[in-house]
Amino acid sequence: MTSGQRKAHKYIWLLLLIIVPVIMLFSIKDLDLFSSGTNTASQLSGSKKMSLKTSENDIIKVAVFESHVEIILKTTLKNSSSVVYEMDKKGNKSNVIGQLTTAGIYNFNINNLPKGIIIYDAIKQVEITKFSL
Amino acid sequence: MGLDYQLVLWNKHKKTYDKIIVASMLLYIILFATITLIFNSETSIETLVIRAFGSLAIIMLHVILIIGPLARLNTNVLPILYNRRHLGVSMFIAALIHGGFSMFQFHALGDVNPIYSLFTSNMEYGSLTNFPFQVLGFFALLILFFMASTSHDFFLGNLSAKVWKRLHMMVYFAYALIIAHVFLGAFQQETSLFTIGILVIGFITVASLHLITAFKERKIDRTKTIKKEGWLVVCNISEIEEDRAKIFTVENERVAIFKYDGKLSAIHNVCKHQGGPLGEGKIIDGCITCPWHGYQYLPSNGQSPAPFTEKVSTYELKLEGETVYINPKAFKEGTEVKPCKF
C-alpha cells in the first residue's frame, strides 16, 4: 500500500472503533440479556381498565375491551409467523385481528366481541394456540 | 498481469483453497441446519436458510478482514492472502442467498415491489431499536455486489488501481452496516448473550488486528535513518532472510531490499497491480513475487518478466563489511541496477 492508503486504513479503523461500539451499546442497552428466555412478558401487567372478558394460558393472556383486544404474549414464539384470528361460532378462524412478533403487549382494534382467539402459523399452516373467551 | 483476461487463473493451490472454501461452507450449513432442527424443529426452511447463510457470511467476512493484518504480522498467512478474492466472492454468494431469501420471505409475497416494500414496510427511521435494519443489510449487500463483480483484474485494469482500491476499501463501510444490521435486527428479536458476545469479540479482534498493524507500519515509516556520505544505513545483512526482503523507508517511500543467491537488490515496495507490499513477498523462480496476487518483478531492474509490462523504481545498494547502505535517490521505473554481491 502507498503511504496515503496506509493512513486511510488507520483512520477508517480508528473511526470504526468509535462508531461500531456506540451502535452496539445503544442497540443492546434496553435488551434483557440475562433472563432465562421464557415468560419474558409474564410480569407485564397490561391495561388497568376493566375488561369485558379475560382468558389466559401458558403462551398468552387475552383481555377483551369494548373496542379493542389486548394480548400479552408471554414469550417469543419460535414460529416464523403468528397471526391472530377471531374465532367463529364453530371454533374456526374468521377475521384476522393482527400479528404477533416478539414477547410483549399488543392492542388490536375489533368491531365485534370475538368468541375466542386463535394464533395461527400462516407459513406452516398450523395452529399455535386456541381458546374460547 | 495477463495479456488476455481469463475468467480465473487456476493453479493447483487455488484449486485446493477453493475446495477447502466450498467444503467448509457446506460443513457449516449442514451443522447449522442439524443443530437448528434438533433444538427448534418449528423453524421453517426459509428461516433456516436465511439464518444459516446470514451467519455464514458474517463469519466469512470476519475471516476475510483479519487475513490482511495477520499476513503482515505473520508471513505464514500469506498463502491465504493470495486466495482472499475467492473467499470474498464466496462470502458475497452466501450474503446474496441470505438477502435473496429474506427479500422473498418478507417482501416478495405482497402486491408491491419488493424493493419498495423493503424501504417502506417499516418507516421508523428515527428510532434506533426499531430501525428498519433490513435497509442496512441491503446497502451492505450492494457494496459487496460491486466488490465481487469488480474483483477480476479486467476491472482493476480498466478502473485503475487507485479507483479500484477505493471501491474495495468500501468493505469497511459494509462491515459497519452489517454489524448494525445484526444488532438492530436479529439481536432485537432473539436476544442471546452468546451470539452478541461472539460478534463483539469478532469486532474487537478485527479492529485490534488492523490497528496493531497500522501502528506497526507507522513505526516503520518513522524509523530514523543514519546518513553517511549521501547513503542511508539500512541494516546488517544478517537481518535479511534468504529470498526475503527488509522493508526500509526512504524519503516517505518504502523500499524492499531483497537478499537472494548471494546478491542484494532494492525496488520500490508497492506492487503495480493492487498496491501490494512487495517486500512482504519472496523470491520465486528468480522473481520478486507479490504476496497478494503473485505479480512478479525481476530484482535487478524492477520489470515484470516478458511478455508482461509492469515496472517499479529501483535503488542502488552498497555493502560495507556487513552493513547494507542504500542510495535514497530512486532510479526511473524499470532501470537496470547491478545487484550488490556478498
Q: Which residue of B has its CA nearest to A16?
A: B176
B217: which chain A residues are within 8 Å (Cβ-Cβ)? 6, 10
Average pLDDT, integer, range B50-77: 92
Q: Are B193 and A34 within 8 A, CB to CB? A: yes
Higher pLDDT among residues B244 and A45, named by residue: B244
A38: which chain B residues are within 8 Å (Cβ-Cβ)? none
pLDDT (tens digit, 9 = 90+) per residue, B248-300?
888 778 899 999 999 999 999 988 887 788 998 889 999 999 887 788 999 99
Average pLDDT, integer, range B187-205: 88
Amino acid at B254: R
Q: Are B179 and A31 within 8 A, CB to CB? A: no
Q: Are B214 and A26 within 8 A, CB to CB? A: no
The pLDDT score that the predictor gives to residue A37 is 47
Is the pLDDT assigned to residue B2 strictly greater than 50? no
Is the pLDDT assigned to residue A51 strictly greater than 80? no
Q: Which residue of B has its CA nearest to A8?
A: B169
What value of ipTM does the predicted structure carry? Answer: 0.78
Q: Are B196 and A102 within 8 A, CB to CB? A: no
Average pLDDT over chain B, rounded to an integer: 88
Higher pLDDT among residues A102 and B46, named by residue: B46
* pLDDT interval class at B225 (50, 70, 90): confident
Three-state SS for B100? helix
pTM recorded for the entire structure: 0.72
The pLDDT score that the predictor gives to residue B154 is 78
Q: How many residues does chain A have?
A: 133
The pLDDT score that the predictor gives to residue A20 is 94
Identify from B127, B191, B204, B220 which residue to disrupt to test chain A contact, counting A C-beta atoms within 10 A and taking the largest count.
B191
Average pLDDT, integer, range A8-17: 93
Highest mean pLDDT: which range of A39-43, B15-19, B48-52: B48-52
| Bridge partners (DSSP) listed for residue B232 | B227, B326
Q: Are A24 and B193 within 8 A, CB to CB? A: no
Please report, for residues B171, B203, B253, B255, the alpha-carbon distance to residue B65 in angstroms, rounded to integers and kept in the order given: 9, 10, 26, 26
Identify from B38, B39, B44 which residue to disrupt to test chain A contact, counting A C-beta atoms within 10 A and taking the largest count.
B44
Three-state SS for B336? coil
* pLDDT interval class at B158 (50, 70, 90): confident
**Are the C-beta atoms of residues A65 and A49 closer than 8 Å to each other?**
yes
Sequence-ordered alpha helix ranges (H) in A1-133: 3-28
The pLDDT score that the predictor gives to residue A11 is 93
Residue for grid cell 516517505? B252
* pLDDT interval class at B241 (50, 70, 90): very high
* pLDDT interval class at A49 (50, 70, 90): low
* pLDDT interval class at B204 (50, 70, 90): very high
pLDDT (tens digit, 9 = 90+) per residue, B93-148?
999 999 999 998 888 877 889 899 899 888 888 887 778 899 999 999 999 999 99
281-340 in B: which are within 8 Å (CB) of A?
A: none
Name every residue whose Cβ is closer than 8 Å to that of residue B183 and which is 6 or more positions away in sequence.
A23, A24, A27, A28, B196, B199
* pLDDT interval class at B1 (50, 70, 90): very low
Query: Nearest 10 degrees: CA dihedral of B104, B106, B112, B118?
Result: -100
The pLDDT score that the predictor gives to residue A47 is 58
* pLDDT interval class at B161 (50, 70, 90): confident
Average pLDDT, integer, range A13-39: 78
Higher pLDDT among residues B143 and B228, named by residue: B143
**Are the C-beta atoms of residues B322 and B237 closer than 8 Å to each other?**
yes
- Rounded CA separation A70/B207 (Å): 46
